[in-house]
Amino acid sequence: MWGRLYSCFLVSLLLMVVWAAPQKDHDHSEDHHQHLHHGKDEPHPSHEGVDNLCHRLSPHNADFAFSLYKKLSTHPEAKGKNIFFSPLSISMALSMLALGAKGNTHSQIFSTLGYSTLTPDQVNEGYEHLLHMLGHSQDAMQLEAGSAVAVREGFKPVDKFLKDVQHFYQGEAFTVDYSKPEVAVQEINKYIAKKTKDMITDMIETLDQQTVMMLINYIYFKGKWEEPFEAHLTRKADFNVDENTKVSVDMMKRTDQFDFYRDQENSTSIIRVPYTGNTSMMIILPDKGKMEELEKQISRDHFKNWREKLSKSSVSLSMPRFSISAFISLHQTLQEMGITDAFSEDADLSGLSENSKLKISKVLHKAVLKVNEEGTEAAAATAVEIVLTSFQISEIMVLNRPFLVFILDSSTRSILFMGKINNPTE
């Protein structure tokens, strides 16, 4: 049986809290858990420039990804910690929020996401097609993304908002009894666990009784290496977390032809390890002592240049087998990046509800990453070994110190996940 790589599972959440009390005399118009069907199997609507619309988002999303990474990596609490998140999930969740935002609140969301030069229609149609493309990934991998709106029983969102969430973001709506927070927590966590194949089971811990709505976005990825690592080559090795700290890891090893680039100017080595299908893992390994310097300046331009300069090289790659998770509370970071009104009394979310004054209470994000060489067949391993014996190794790349990791989807030109592996054992 081929070895499978359980790679990334994540959820991005936005909680809305009412300033004014919810309308008590509202008719309860939806049954509990009445879902909007997102019509995944329906014929896909034809628009001109479909690919262009989808790809038009990618440079803006990449800029937002690196801006957010810089904010997270320079936070005092991040020192020495792993960082892992899905910039695509966060961008999508905020774009979904923008469906119900107006005035300055909408402008701030679009400006922070880098969408100032795009119209709302271009953004929404871009995500519609991006989700369509992700949903039609090859059998060789699983890549699932979608959205949901968990609505307070008796609270009536604007119909247009719900229809747009359904149409553009593959969203579904269900009602939750937020007046019983412990019940609501359990129900929302159950929904998220189902969508992430039980990889994230405890996303929400507490809820405010004033909560009337939660926007949920999730991405689930499961892929296998195009050429698996051979389990019998895995050895215990030291990973240098910093100058004073070493941890023991299971170091996988594979010698093969990889897309590789050595950036002398930035003292960095770059390698791309493909999964079957359209996805790949791109690993950035700065020289010893150069991580902080790279983190300060890394941008979409660096990333674009690296991808263009990659070329086939014989590389001996050593990579730790690891499993990490990261939980991030994003509301302070997003305010620092320019989304301020949405968290304040000045919030204009009238596109969500016409009868209540709303604002954002929390923005939570959790991501899990597992990397291994599990279940590799000896026959496939032996075939790889035989091929490798004829290679003259020109490069050696040992991931025994902190490195950056990106999971990319070529069909949508999207950074699905990114982060820094500072300590593979945490």
DSSP code at position 19: S
DSSP code at position 115: -
Average pLDDT, the chain: 78
Strand spans (E) along 264-357: 268-274, 279-286, 311-329
Tokens of 375: 């279940």
- Give the pLDDT confidence score for residue 116 in this predicted structure: 92
Tokens of 279: 């996805």
CA gap 204, 266 in Å, rounded: 40
- Amino acid at residue number 357: K
CA gap 92, 128 in Å, rounded: 10
Beta pairing partners, 8: 221, 369
pLDDT range class, residue 29, cuts 50, 70, 90: very low
pLDDT range class, residue 138, cuts 50, 70, 90: low
Place of tokens 């100017």: 265
Alpha helices (H) in 236-375, listed in sequence order:
291-297, 300-309, 331-336
Q: Is residue 17 classed as helix, strand or coil in its secondary structure?
A: strand
- Residue 25 pLDDT more than 50? no
pLDDT digits (tens, 9 = 90+) for 363-392: 888 888 877 763 211 111 111 111 122 334
Place of tokens 């949901």: 148
Q: Which residues of 284-316 are buried (b: 16+ CB within 10 A; e: fewer)?
A: bbbeeeebeebbeebebebbeebbeeeeebbbb
- Residue 137 pLDDT more than 90? no
| Rg of the Cα atoms in the chain | 22
Label the pairing between strands 171-176 and 414-421: unpaired
Tokens of 231: 């389990």
Q: Which residues of 62-98 are buried (b: 16+ CB within 10 A; e: fewer)?
A: bbbbbbbbbbbbeeeebeebbbbbbbbbbbbbbbbbb
CA gap 129, 275 in Å, rounded: 22
CA gap 183, 416 in Å, rounded: 32
- Residue 34 pLDDT more than 50? no
Domains of the chain: 5-223+324-369 (3.30.497.10), 231-321+376-421 (2.30.39.10)
The percent of residues in the chain predicted with pLDDT above 70, rounded, is 81
- Amino acid at residue number 202: D
pLDDT digits (tens, 9 = 90+) for 193-220: 888 887 778 888 887 777 788 888 888 7
- Residue 112 pLDDT more than 90? yes
Q: Which of 148, 131, 167 is nearest to 11 (CA)?
A: 148
DSSP code at position 278: S
Tokens of 211: 């909560």
DSSP code at position 189: H
Distances (CA, A) of 255 to 187, 297, 384: 47, 31, 9
pLDDT range class, residue 13, cuts 50, 70, 90: low
- Residue 161 pLDDT more than 60? yes
pLDDT range class, residue 18, cuts 50, 70, 90: very low
Query: Which phi-psi region, left, alpha or beta, contains residue 99 (left: φ > 0; alpha: ψ -120 to 50)?
Result: alpha
DSSP code at position 275: B
Between 242 and 110, residue with greater pLDDT: 110
Q: What would you measure as the largest C-alpha separation in the chain, in angstroms?
A: 77
Tokens of 151: 């609505």
Counting every residue written for the chain, the total comes to: 426
